[in-house]
Structure 1
Amino acid sequence: MSPRGVAIPDLRERLFAAAERVVARDGAAALTSRAVTTEAECAKGVLHTHFSGIDEFVAELVLDRFARSARDAGELASKVGRGSVGGNLAEVALALLDSLDPAVVGLAMTRPGASTHTRRALEAGAPGFTAIQESVTEYLEAERQGGRVPEGTDAATTSLALVGTVHHLLLTRTPDSVTAAAETIRRLTAVLLGDAR
């Protein structure tokens, strides 16, 4: 337990990681501020010192993971001409799919305060699915110019199809369907790139 009044390095990430462990182990219903701070080995009131409540905390956790996924997607630019195009796209899509536990996504959707906070932050420009889609579009256009994607490929529509499908899977999958969702992503990237074998 951290002593009272002593700064905790990377406190947000420590609390977010603790919340993910609580949800993975005990389910979404177990996610309370006390459960999070106990798991993070912090003083009980520290969550409420930094967040207005559990709804804002859940929303900020989701936004943090979306921002991380957007940064990962931004790395596609460094992979132009390297690896397989389908493999590079699948890697980004699977990272996004794995960025949040389905139960955390469920909390962010079903708790009105968390849902509203998340939506407003995304509307205000917080990195999320739009940023990921833009990175994928830019990557596909660069690969098309390099001859690794067929000339007639509509990069923006392909990107929308991929990111939209990941969004759907992220919101609807269950812990038992993670493997099936990953296989869907692999099949989809093959189809989108014209390799449905």
Structure 2
Amino acid sequence: MPRGVPIAEPRQHLFAAAERLIATAGPGQLTSRAVTGEAGVATGLLFAHFANFDDFLVGYAVDRSFQIAGTAAGLSARAGTGTIAENLSETMLATPLITLRGVTRLMACRPALAADVEAVLGTGSAALQSLERAAVDYLDAERRLGRLPAGVDTEALALAVVGVLHRVALIDGIDAEAHARIEHTVTALAEGFPAATS
């Protein structure tokens, strides 16, 4: 993008650039110069919107965690409709894989960011945590409706489903094949219904 051209949403433009860098080079390569270079803007743009680079990273982690929480918010309302596997898969994959990879890798590299996100969005809101909580609530609702056996360990199932998403986002690609692997595995887990341990 040529310098001097107005950007409608500069913060989102910079976040998207950081996300691309994390996906391709890893979070260890993030610097203000690398992000603005990827974004095709002057370095000053980042510092016009953020106090420093750490503030930028917190802003990114909060924004993406909020986005993920938004995709998870309606999951419980789907209880009793469609199939459990479809409802889980669609919610887990509602956020683009590049975003899941970006925020997951960044927070694995900088675990202190979780506390910064929670300071803004509340406990259990950092990265994929909101997906796990939403999955537990949804599975509990399905169990109450009788669409899951009474002995199903909903917390273990939710953890396994989100763990698949976390593993693929952290290590695998962000292409259609990765998307299909997540969907296939979530379906296999949902149809297996692990029972609670006594």
TM-score by length of 1: 0.71
Query: What does residue 121 of structure 1 align with?
Result: 116
Helix, strand or coil: the match of 2:111?
helix
Aligned to 1:47: 46
Closer, same or farther: CA 49–179 of 1 in aligned 2, 3 Å: same
Match of 2:165 in 1: 166
SS of equivalent to 1:142: helix
Q: Work out the percentage of aligned pairs sharing the same amino acid.
A: 33
Match of 2:188 in 1: 187
On the 8 A contact 2:58/2:117 being kept in 1, the answer is no
How many residue pairs align between the two structures? 186
Deviation larger for 10-19 or 50-59: 50-59
The question of 1:27 aligning with 2:53 is answered no
Which residue of structure 2 lines up, in the alignment, with residue 137 of structure 1? 136
Q: Distance in 2 between matches of 1:84 and 1:115?
A: 35
For structure 2, list consecutive stretches of 5 or more residues without a partner in the other structure: none
Distance 2:51 2:15 in 1: 15
1:99 CA displacement: 5.1
- Within 5 Å, which residues of 2 pair with 1:5-84? 8-24=7-23, 27-28=25-26, 31-84=30-83
- Please report how far the alpha carbon of residue 15 of structure 1 lies from its aligned counterpart in structure 2 after TM superposition: 1.0
Distance in 2, matches of 1:162 and 1:40, equals: 33
For 2:96 and 2:8, how far apart are their aligned partners in 1?
A: 28
Distance 1:63-1:133 versus aligned 2 partners, 3 A rule:
same
1:49 offset after TM fit, Å?
Answer: 2.6
Distance 1:56 1:169, change over 3 A: farther
Cα 1:169/1:84, change in 2 over 3 Å: same
CA displacement, residues 11-41 of structure 1 (integer Å, 9 cap, x when unaligned): 22111112223444x5236543233224434
CA distance in 1, matches of 2:56, 2:181: 27
Which piece of structure 1 moves more, 135-144 or 29-38? Answer: 29-38
Cα shift at 1:84: 0.8
CA-based RMSD: 3.4
Return 173-182 or 80-89, whichever deviates more: 173-182
With over 3 angstroms needed to count, the CA separation of the structure-2 counterparts of 1:59 and 1:180, relative to structure 1, is farther
